[in-house]
């Protein structure tokens, strides 16, 4: 864990701001961890809760892009789905505010309603007939529609690139499982989907502001060192169980011999910051999930939250240097 972490961007055309972020992250292990919080709605109740309890804000804010999916089937969607989409609209406005006015880091999550064949919450496998194994084959309708959706999202990301704002981009998250359509056909198909997006976004759209985050702990289907900057996993330990997540780290780093930056893409409870300050398990960030995970005491008490945000090992927004 004391080896030098190689953090040159996988994209050789990455902008200097990406290099700045990666250089900063490379120096973090053993010195600190970025505090992170996912916000699922434009209200951002999680940030308000954290600030009320701790007087601080996280260094990294996560934003949800599900409402920007171009093929939401509003005609065959339940009330819960419609509410979730409505509450998620305009989250990019919040992201712009975060980077322009607070100068924090951002990461995007896309619960992608499938390109066709979806109903209700169409990012779930059970709610779509879309076949990802056909989408990786050129000449199929699935492939054409997949590329169209990718291009739609690329246009929304381009203004960030034009403003030279780096984004921790975590596509096809949790692809080790079958619950999302992109993982339903197995890890090898998910790998191909990711590599397709990487080539499309770097070569065709020239989105050179993206920091590519792979999000699966499986050695099978690992996308490759050449197309990812950070490896990550999602984990939801039992309520009020705060550890350094050493076992999860040891599992994750087995996917590649390269000494990649490592992150907790999603977590339900805060990790133990005091424990991390002692063991130096080299997570560079964690991102607590939204709603009850990040805005109530159901998973992490206010006392634990204050302790974490007040600990010198935690990097909060006020401690983050200007990286872009």
Cα–Cα distances in angstroms (integers) from residue 155 to residues 68, 160, 179, 253, in the given order? 11, 10, 27, 33
17, 84, 248, 266: which is the annotated catalytic residue?
Answer: 266
- Please tell me the distance from the alpha carbon of residue 99 to that of residue 59, in angstroms, as a whole number: 11
What tokens appear for 59 in the block? 């260094």
What tokens appear for 260 in the block? 């990649």
User: Crossing angle, helix 302-310 and helix 45-54, to 10 degrees?
Assistant: 80
46, 142, 174, 248: which is the annotated catalytic residue?
Answer: 174
> Which DSSP string do the residues of 146-208 spell out, in sequence order?
HHHHHHHHHHHHHHHHHTT--EEE--STTTTSSSBTTTTT-HHHHHHHHHHHHHIIIIIS--T
Active site residue 246: no
Active site residue 266: yes
Give catalytic residue positions.
Answer: 174, 266
């Amino acid at each position: 864990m004391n080896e030098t972490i190689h953090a040159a961007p996988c994209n050789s055309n990455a902008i200097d701001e990406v290099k700045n972020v990666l250089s900063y992250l490379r120096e973090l292990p053993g010195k600190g961890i970025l505090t992170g919080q996912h916000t699922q709605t434009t209200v951002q109740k999680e940030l308000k809760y954290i600030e009320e309890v701790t007087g601080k804000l996280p260094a990294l804010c996560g934003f949800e892009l599900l409402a920007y999916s171009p093929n939401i089937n509003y005609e065959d969607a339940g009330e819960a789905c419609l509410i979730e989409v409505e509450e998620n609209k305009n989250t990019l406005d919040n992201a712009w505010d975060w980077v322009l006015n607070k100068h924090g880091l951002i990461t995007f999550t896309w619960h992608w309603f499938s390109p066709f064949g979806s109903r209700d919450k169409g990012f779930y496998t059970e709610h779509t007939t879309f076949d990802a194994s056909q989408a990786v084959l050129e000449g199929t309708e699935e492939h054409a529609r997949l590329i169209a959706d990718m291009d739609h999202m690329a246009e929304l990301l381009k203004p960030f690139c034009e403003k030279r704002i780096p984004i921790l981009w975590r596509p096809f998250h949790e692809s080790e499982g079958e619950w999302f359509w992109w993982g339903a056909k197995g890890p090898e198909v998910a790998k191909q989907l990711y590599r397709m997006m990487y080539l499309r976004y770097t070569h065709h759209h020239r989105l050179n502001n993206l920091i590519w985050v792979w999000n699966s702990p499986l050695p099978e289907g690992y996308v490759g060192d050449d197309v990812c900057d950070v490896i990550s996993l999602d984990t939801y330990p039992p309520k009020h169980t705060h550890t350094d997540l050493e076992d999860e780290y040891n599992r994750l780093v087995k996917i590649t011999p390269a000494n990649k930056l490592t992150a907790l893409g999603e977590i339900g409870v805060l990790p133990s910051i005091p424990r991390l300050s002692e063991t130096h398990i080299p997570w560079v960030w964690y991102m607590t999930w939204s709603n009850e995970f990040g805005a109530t005491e159901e998973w992490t008490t206010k006392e634990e939250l204050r302790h974490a945000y007040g600990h010198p090992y935690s990097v909060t927004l006020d401690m983050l240097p200007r990286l872009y």
